[in-house]
Amino acid sequence: MTKSILITGGAGFIGSHVVKLFVEKYPNYRIINLDALTYAGNLENLKEIEGAQNYFFEKADIQDSEALRRIFSEHGITDVIHLAAESHVDRSISDPLAFVATNVMGTVNLLNVSKSAWADNLQDHLFYHVSTDEVYGSLHDDGFFLETTPYDPQSPYSASKASSDHFVRAYANTYKMRTVISNCSNNYGPNHFPEKLIPLCINNIRNNKPLPIYGKGENVRDWLFVKDHARAIDTVFHKGKAGDTYNIGGFNEWQNIDIVRLLCQKMDEKLGREKGSSEKLITFVKDRAGHDLRYAIDATKIKEELGWEPSLQFEEGIEITIDWYLKNQDWLDHVTSGEYQSYYKNHYQTS
């Protein structure tokens, strides 16, 4: 039987790269992209595969069980790769319930519908849940997150993702569903919505606007190029052991302020601006409430057991990313109109 894979959140940043990779690499699979098209979802992210024979789009909310049942039945869904989520920590601080609704209730709803649809042969199907390293909390020493690190989520976003991870494990244990989870560090690359640090800075440098940096910019994150994450998801989907968890990361830690300085330097070069001019835009703002100091992933398990490792060095990935944004300024203009403007003004209280 050919696979009919439901990928949720496929119009978002990471999901769109996963959908494109699967549609192009596996012409014999049917790929069904389910997305509610919230402010973060954008079908422009998928224009390269428009019209592909093995690609289908369904606009639906993962909280809508009736829609899910119809989609499972019409497409004969054999497997799920679940990425749909509310994903921005700052938004979770101002509206935690939206995160509970989609990330917790939506995930449990999707688990329920999958369980019923696959009831006759649960062992032939896989439910793959894509999660974040933020579930492990904040590191205050020079250690790393392992798959065995106890969960200690600190923001409403990470609490909602941790909860959804627990539900996935509970369904594996209680109902014997075949599940797998991966927890990845910060992604960057094309199609990243410009509320997140790297595209926000690229967009603001382009427009000569202030670069708002939380606190002193000392928070440390591990960064991975989004296409490497999509490759890792492909690897875990095909080779991962059911019931297991895999950490995915770039072995690439940076303080926020150093990333911003690197972006300023590269953008000055690319835009032909005087050296140092973009750095003048750096503006330190009040720190994010409860801001986690450091996340760092140990991705040894996926490397040793499944043979995946990042393919790009950070500087190479950043070059590709900046070039993509400069070449796709209409994409940036489109996604930063409307809802983005009011969010941005409320959040940073800028004009």
| Site residues (vs ligand NAD, CB under 6 A) | 8-9, 11-15, 35-38, 40-41, 61-63, 83-87, 102, 106, 130-132, 161, 184, 186-187, 193
Q: Which is nearer to ligand NAD, 121 or 342 (CB)?
A: 342
Closest residue to ligand NAD, judged by C-beta, is: 12
Task: Give, in order, the Cα–Cα distances in Å from 300 to each of 120, 221, 254, 258, 297.
Answer: 36, 17, 19, 26, 9
Annotated catalytic residue within 58, 79, 86, 133: 133
Are residues 311 and 234 in contact, defined by beta-carbon separation less than 8 angstroms?
Answer: no
The DSSP H or E segment spanning 347 is helix 339-348
d(CA 186, CA 229): 10
Q: Is 153 helix (H, G, I), strand (E, B) or coil?
A: coil
Residue 157 annotated to the active site? yes
Are residues 260 and 291 in contact, defined by beta-carbon separation less than 8 angstroms?
Answer: no
Q: How far is the CB of 317 from ligand NAD (least distance, A)?
A: 13
Name residue 257's amino acid. Answer: I
Q: How many residues does the chain have?
A: 351
Read out DSSP for 168-188? HHHHHHHH---EEEEEE-EEE
Residue 133 annotated to the active site? yes
Q: Which is nearer to ligand NAD, 95 or 269 (CB)?
A: 95
Q: Where are the alpha helices (DSSP H) in 120-217?
A: 156-175, 197-206
Q: How far is the CB of 56 from ligand NAD (least distance, A)?
A: 15
Q: Which is nearer to ligand NAD, 131 or 204 (CB)?
A: 131
Q: Which is nearer to ligand NAD, 165 or 213 (CB)?
A: 165
Annotated catalytic residue within 79, 134, 165, 253: 134
Longest Cα separation, the chain:
66
Q: How far is the CB of 201 from ligand NAD (least distance, A)?
A: 15
The DSSP H or E segment spanning 21 is helix 13-25
Pick the closest to residue 49 from 78, 7, 85 (CA basis): 7
Q: How far is the CB of 269 from ligand NAD (least distance, A)?
A: 26
Q: Which is nearer to ligand NAD, 37 or 93 (CB)?
A: 37
Q: How far is the CB of 77 from ligand NAD (least distance, A)?
A: 15
Residue 134 annotated to the active site? yes
Q: Which is nearer to ligand NAD, 88 or 270 (CB)?
A: 88
- What lies within 8 Å, CB to CB, of 72 at 6+ separation is 6, 113, 114, 117
User: Which residues partner with 35 through β-bridges?
Assistant: 59
Annotated catalytic residue within 157, 171, 246, 295: 157
Q: How far is the CB of 157 from ligand NAD (least distance, A)?
A: 8
Q: Which residues are catalytic?
A: 133-134, 157
